[in-house]
Structure formats: C-alpha cells, structure tokens
C-alpha cells in the first residue's frame, strides 16, 4: 500500500490514495471543496472530486446505475464541467460523446437556444446539427442542476433536433438526465417530474444541498 501511495499525486489537503473501507453511495461528495472566494463564485467546487480516482469512478457508476438496461445511443455533456462527467459516462458505456457548447465556439452549422443560468445571467448555448438524428436516445449530463435553466435549454436543443431525452411518460424511451446534484428548485423539480433523472446526493443530505450548506 505504501508503495502504491508513493506513486499517487498528493497535496497536504487531499490524499488521493485514501478510500473508505465502506463506500456508500455519495461517499465521494465529501471530497468537494467549499467556496472560499465569496458570492461571485459557486457555493461549492465539485471538481476536487474528479482528482480522486476511486471517487470519480464511483460517482460515474452511481449516475449510470438507474439507466442500466436502458437503450442509450449517445451521451451529451453541457459546457463546461458537464464535459468531464459526460465523457467519463460515455467511455464507461462505450458510446459517443456530444459537447453542448456555449455559443460562439463551434465553426460548423449549429442550433442555438437562449437561457438564463443559475446566476441569473442571460446566455446562449449551441449544438452542432449533424450529430443528432431523429429518435436518437440521449443521456444528458451536467455537473450540477441548480435552477434548471441550463439543463432545460440543453433538453430543448436535443428535442428540437428530434432526439429523445427520456420523458417519464410513454411512449418516450427511458433515458434522461444525470448530474451530481439536482436541487429542489422550481426548475429542478420540473426536470425530475418530466424526465428520468439520476443524481448522487442521498435523501438525508438533500436538504443541506438545497440550502447550500
């Protein structure tokens, strides 16, 4: 064990070799770092979790578990942090990965969708038009769903191109939406009411995440 640990990248504040003896769902949430820079930043930084090899693997496995056996043709990740989890999920499933971008970055034909993000800023996202064919079954992945505006815009883009993002009502195919946390906001509830969803926060901790604690 000591030999293996000596090969790991470490810092005084993160031991990338430590794995708890009992790995309950969501154990890796404790790896995330709190905001120390004030209100202009998100309240929590999940990217610290991705530095931990077992934490990242277990996070992706938990996100995909509800979709076992579901037909998924492609994974789409939302700019920018959704690229990390989305690409990891696509690799695990051995499916292709589609990047849904903030507007202005793609040099090919795109479809655009305006939206308002969690901070209240009006933005535009875009997706290439040649990757989604009618009835293609998409798993949409983002790092976090706070107000739901960003995820809803991504859903609209996919569905405008004829893709299927997994509504709960038949005859839709049950693939859908995955994020580390889906907060109990108006937008978060709307997404969970209409689409099959997966997230990593245990029910006992959900109220704390909703209050940004």
pLDDT in tens, 150-195: 999 999 999 999 999 865 544 454 469 999 999 999 999 999 999 9
List, for residues 105-138, the tens digit of each pLDDT value. 999 999 999 999 988 999 999 999 999 999 999 9
pLDDT of residue 15: 81
pLDDT of residue 119: 87
Tokens of 79: 């700019």
Average model confidence (pLDDT) across the chain: 90
Integer-rounded Cα Rg, in Å, for the chain is 18
Tokens of 95: 């499916």
Q: pTM above the 0.85 mark?
A: yes
Domains delineated in the chain: 60-205 (3.40.50.2020)
Q: Give Cα 182 distance to the centre of its chain.
A: 9
Q: Which residue has the higher pLDDT, 7 or 57?
A: 57
Check whether 3 has a pLDDT greater than 90.
no
Give the start-end residues of each E strand in the chain. Answer: 33-34, 44-45, 74-78, 96-102, 110-116, 122-128, 138-141, 144-145, 177-178, 181-182, 197-198
Length of the chain (residues): 213
């Amino acid at each position: 064990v000591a030999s293996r640990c000596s090969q790991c990248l470490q810092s005084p504040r993160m031991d990338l070799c430590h794995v708890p003896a009992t790995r309950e769902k969501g154990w890796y949430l404790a790896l995330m770092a709190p905001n120390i820079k004030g209100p202009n930043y998100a309240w929590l930084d999940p990217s610290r979790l991705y530095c931990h090899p077992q934490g990242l693997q277990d996070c992706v496995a938990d996100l995909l578990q509800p979709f076992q056996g579901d037909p998924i043709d492609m994974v789409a990740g939302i700019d920018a942090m959704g690229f990390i989890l989305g690409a990891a999920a696509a690799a695990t499933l051995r499916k292709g990965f589609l990047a849904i971008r903030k507007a202005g970055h793609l040099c090919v034909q795109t479809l655009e969708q305006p939206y308002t993000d969690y901070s209240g800023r009006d933005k535009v996202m875009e997706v290439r038009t040649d990757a989604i064919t009618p009835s293609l079954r998409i798993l949409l992945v983002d790092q976090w769903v706070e107000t739901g505006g960003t995820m809803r815009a991504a859903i609209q883009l996919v569905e405008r191109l004829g893709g299927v993002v997994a509504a709960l009502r038949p005859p839709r195919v049950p693939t859908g939406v995955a994020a580390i946390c889906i907060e109990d906001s108006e937008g978060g509830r709307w997404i969970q009411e209409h689409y099959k969803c997966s997230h990593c926060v245990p029910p006992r901790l959900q109220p704390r995440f909703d209050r940004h604690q």
